[in-house]
Amino acid sequence: MKADATLDCIGLYCPMPIAHTAKKLKELAVGQVLEILADDEGIKEDMPAWCRATGNELLGIEEEAGGYKIYVKKSK
């Protein structure tokens, strides 16, 4: 998936990945896509919850060896 920016959260535990995502997304324009790299398993549940709460769109979570690639579209 194509992204406008990438955020590396490898090695970080909750709540740092969502805290950094919230901060990073502020720098993007509406409609742009942020790719988040993370390896804390909780992110699989946390990022969808964060997106529901903040009204941003979760485009997908790709599971790979060593972590996850998560795509979030800034929606507002």
**Residues of this chain that bind other proteins (CB under 8 A):** 11-16, 18-19, 21-23, 50, 53-54
Our CB check for other proteins shows the closer of 4 and 40 to be 40
How do 67-73 and 33-38 pair as beta strands?
antiparallel
Element (H, E) at 58: strand 57-64
Compute the least distance from the CB of residue 59 to other proteins, in Å. 19
Task: Mark whether 14 is an active-site residue.
Answer: yes
Helices (H), the chain: 16-27, 43-54
Structure tokens at 36: 């988040």
Give the shortest CB-23-to-other proteins separation in angstroms: 8
Residues serving a catalytic function are 14
